[in-house]
Amino acid sequence: MLIQIKGVLDQEQLAVAHQLIASGRFTDGSSSAGMAARRVKHNDELQLPQKQTGELNNLVMGSLVNNPVYRSAAMPLKVAAPYYARYTAGMTYGDHVDDPIMGQGAELYRSDLSVTIFLNGPDDYDGGELTIQTAFADQQVKLPAGDAVLYPSSSIHRVAEVTRGERLVAVSWIQSVIKEPERRALLHDMNQARETLLQEQPDAAVTAQVNHSYINLVRMWSEI
């Protein structure tokens, strides 16, 4: 399941994010990759003092976790602190699959879903498409600033070479309450229908049936 999420960050929030990013510095991003991905990862990652890192993470991830589409599609149990990646001309990230287990010590989590939040717009750079392999065809994603895309961490994906300008994104990973992607997709579709019924026919018998079924399917399939 590949879900595009519009308007995670508005223009004011993006302006604040860019101010915080400008106070830091970028270093070689290959050091944070796993052994296989390190060979194909060519980007920069943001380094910020702890205070500014907290402010930026609260801004970006706070907006994401409060987004209803994100909550419905991801059903997050654990969410990783994001990293902020910059791609300038000549930079790329070749085909890779995200590590299945991330974190350290007691903070380990399984990466079920990856999320990319676009911090600048498609007119700011050429190339740089996020390409995700699916069962049907490769999907290329290059979204407006403030939008995000949610996709399976198990998928092979890559970032095309940037040939002009600068691509700036935030990337994070999620362990979902629902491990199986097929069940997660079914619940997301069902929840969309459920919310429409709750808004348009709150007292109808069919609304109660769908609501009851959704709640108990989450109870049956969740891992907590």
Q: Is 6 helix (H, G, I), strand (E, B) or coil?
A: coil
Q: What is the pLDDT of residue 54?
A: 97
Specify the pTM: 0.94
CATH number of 3-176: 2.60.120.620
Q: What is the pLDDT of residue 35?
A: 61
Nearest to 177 by CA among 169, 164, 187, 190: 187
Q: What is the pLDDT of residue 196?
A: 97
Q: What is the pLDDT of residue 1?
A: 85
Domain ranges for the chain, please list them: 3-176, 181-221
Q: How many residues does the chain have?
A: 224
Q: What is the pLDDT of residue 45?
A: 97
Maximum CA extent, the chain: 58
Q: How far is CA 164 from CA 39, 113, 124, 131, 171, in A?
A: 23, 29, 8, 18, 21
- Mean pLDDT of all residues in the chain? 95
Q: What is the pLDDT of residue 136?
A: 84
Q: What is the pLDDT of residue 107?
A: 86
Q: What is the pLDDT of residue 135?
A: 85
What are the per-10-residue average pLDDT scores of the chain (224 residues)?
Answer: 96 98 92 70 95 97 96 97 97 95 89 98 98 92 98 97 98 97 97 97 97 98 93
Report residue 172: phi and psi, to 5°: -145, 175
* 153/99 Cα distance (integer angstroms): 8
Report residue 218: phi and psi, to 5°: -60, -45
Q: Is 176 helix (H, G, I), strand (E, B) or coil?
A: strand
Q: What is the pLDDT of residue 33?
A: 62
Q: Is 75 helix (H, G, I), strand (E, B) or coil?
A: coil
Is the CB of residue 69 less than 8 Å from the CB of residue 150? Answer: no
Angle at 164 between CA 163 and CA 167, to 5 degrees: 95
**Cα 52 from chain centroid (whole Å):** 21
Q: Is 64 helix (H, G, I), strand (E, B) or coil?
A: helix
Nearest to 156 by CA among 185, 179, 130: 130
Q: What is the pLDDT of residue 118?
A: 98
Q: What is the pLDDT of residue 36?
A: 62
DSSP state for residue 119 in the 8-state scheme: -
Q: What is the pLDDT of residue 121?
A: 97
* 198/146 Cα distance (integer angstroms): 29
Residues sharing a CB contact under 8 Å with residue 144, sequence separation 6 or more, in sequence order: 118, 121, 122
